Amino acid sequence: MLAEYAVRVERTRGRRFPESPHPYRNDFQRDRDRVIHARAFRRLENKTQVFTARVSDHFRNRLTHTIEVAQISRTIAEQLGLNVDLAEVLALVHDIGHPPFGHAGEKALNTAMQMHGLAFDHNLHALRIVEDFEMRYAAFRGLNLTFEVREGIIKHSRDYPADQHPELSEYLLDRRPPLEAQLIDLTDEIAYNTADLDDGYEADILSVQQICNGVPAFARAFQVAQARYPAAIEKLQFNEALKRFFNQLVTDLINNTRARITAAGVKSLEDVRNAPQRVAGFSDAVDAERRQAKQFLYTHLYYSPELKADKDRAEKVVAELFDFWMESPKELPRSYREKAQGEPLARVVCDYIAGMTDNFIAEQHRRFCGS
């Protein structure tokens, strides 16, 4: 049972290239399957989430993180009466535009592009992937996804000013995205705020005491876990606390979004699109705790001394390869040399690097830069 404000697949604005209906899959289910079978999606398995030089097979990568975001998104969408199929495909595609080496790679790639008056944005790159780079069908380039999925790729995490992005004019930049898309940035944060605490603890970079000191919501949950399971080893108490913190974030997002829907008088999808601000969101109190956890992770994990050498190395690899191909474009693969005849070389080099896995870019750096 869909709520009146949910996106209905039978009312989709359709695909760029019309296709006949599938006999037993709706359009959003077909989009989900196209994303899962895309080459760019498979490459997420070998792209960094937090740890570039992973020392454990248990740490998250972009692919496992994406699967976790999809699970959370489906659960919340169902509770809110939203279109679960649309929420799922948006979760599965939300990180498909990320370059190798996580945020360090993205920072280095954007810095390199700025030297040429351009920029790198993983949402815009994701759109280029599904619209152009993926080549699986004889009838059209790209994946030919529905409008609602393409719109969600662009608008799930930020608002793009219409006057600065005329190339995105078809995506209703002056209006809010549907709730299915609004959820994704929030479920993304739930996933990585909790998972990165877990991986940081497993990596012996973060201690329980450290986390309790910096994340009060986790500290409260850990006290409950200790009282309930006093004989359990610390790791199991940690798991119980993290589960409680996770459930707090999910439950609050469901309840507060439901309350905001009521308070805003939202009765239809058009009401969602015309709302003065995004409707989905945490309560003020829980959002403050979410920000505390996020700031703690930036300070004590992402920019920790233990990860600094890996981040510096990642930025060096991206920067040096970018400069190499700008100076020696003849060393690019043939397809990229051909694209450079109609697009700025910097954009073509950026596209090539952004599509690489951690392993492949390291191999290319050894080949062309000698280290």
HEC string for the chain: CCCCCCCCHHHCCCECCCCCCCCCCCHHHHHHHHHHCCHHHHHHHHCECCCCCCCCCCCCEHHHHHHHHHHHHHHHHHHCCCCHHHHHHHHHHCCCCCCCCHHHHHHHHHHHHHCCCCCCCHHHHHHHHHHHHCCCCCCCCCCCCEHHHHHHHHHCCCCCCCCCCHHHHHHCCCCCCCHHHHHHHHHHHHHHHHHHHHHHHHCCCCCHHHHHHHCHHHHHHHHHHHHHCCCCCHHHHHHHHHHHHHHHHHHHHHHHHHHHHHHCCCCCHHHHHHCCCCCCCCCHHHHHHHHHHHHHHHHHHHCCHHHHHHHHHHHHHHHHHHHHHHHCHHHCCHHHHHHCCCCCHHHHHHHHHHCCCHHHHHHHHHHHHCC
Q: Is the pLDDT of residue 58 over 90?
A: no
pLDDT cut 90: percent of the chain above it:
95
In angstroms, the CA 154 to CA 147 distance is 11
Q: What does the pLDDT read at residue 51?
A: 81
> Residue 36: which pLDDT band, with cuts at 50, 70 and 90?
very high
Instruction: State both tokens at 327.
Output: 């100076």
Integer Cα distance of 350 and 110 in angstroms? 9
Residue range 214-260, pLDDT digits in tens? 999 999 999 999 999 999 999 999 999 999 999 999 999 999 999 99
Please tell me the distance from the alpha carbon of residue 185 to that of residue 83, in angstroms, as a whole number.
16
Residue linked to tokens 């740490």: 59
Mean pLDDT to the nearest integer, 356-365: 96
As a whole number of angstroms, the distance between CA 159 and CA 123 comes to 11
Does residue 180 contact residue 156 with C-beta atoms inside 8 Å?
no
Start-to-end CA span in the chain (Å): 57
Q: Would you tell me the crossing angle of helices 234-263 and 216-228 to the nearest 10 degrees?
A: 130
> Both tokens of residue 167?
């190339």
Going 179 to 181 to 184 to 185, the CA torsion angle's sign is: negative
Query: Which residue, chain included where needed, has tokens 């956890």?
Result: 293
Contact predicate 146/131, CB 8 Å: no
Q: Given this model, what pLDDT does residue 368 score?
A: 95
Helical pair 234-263 and 179-202, crossing angle rounded to 10 deg? 160
The model's confidence at residue 1, banded by pLDDT at 50, 70 and 90, is confident
- pLDDT, tens digit, 9 for 90 and up, residues 164-215: 999 999 999 999 999 999 999 999 999 999 999 999 999 999 999 999 999 9
Q: Which residue has the higher pLDDT, 22 or 53?
A: 22
User: How confident is the model at residue 151, as a pLDDT?
Assistant: 98
Domains and CATH numbers, the chain: 9-308 (1.10.3210.10)
Predicted confidence at residue 338, as pLDDT, reads: 95
CA 258, 263, 264, 268 dihedral sign is: positive
Minimum mean pLDDT range among 51-65, 303-317, 335-349: 51-65
pLDDT of residue 49: 87
pTM: 0.96
Torsion, CA 130, CA 133, CA 134, CA 139, rounded to 10: 90
Confidence of residue 38 (pLDDT cuts 50, 70, 90): very high
Q: What is the mean pLDDT of the chain?
A: 96
User: What is the C-alpha to C-alpha distance for residues 367 and 289, in angstroms, rounded to an integer?
Assistant: 46
By the 8 A CB rule, do 109 and 354 touch? yes
56 pLDDT higher than 80:
no
Q: Tell me: pLDDT of 54 over 90.
A: no
Please say if the pLDDT value at position 52 is more than 90: no
Q: Which two tokens stand for residue 263?
A: 């308070």
- The pLDDT value recorded for residue 55 is 64
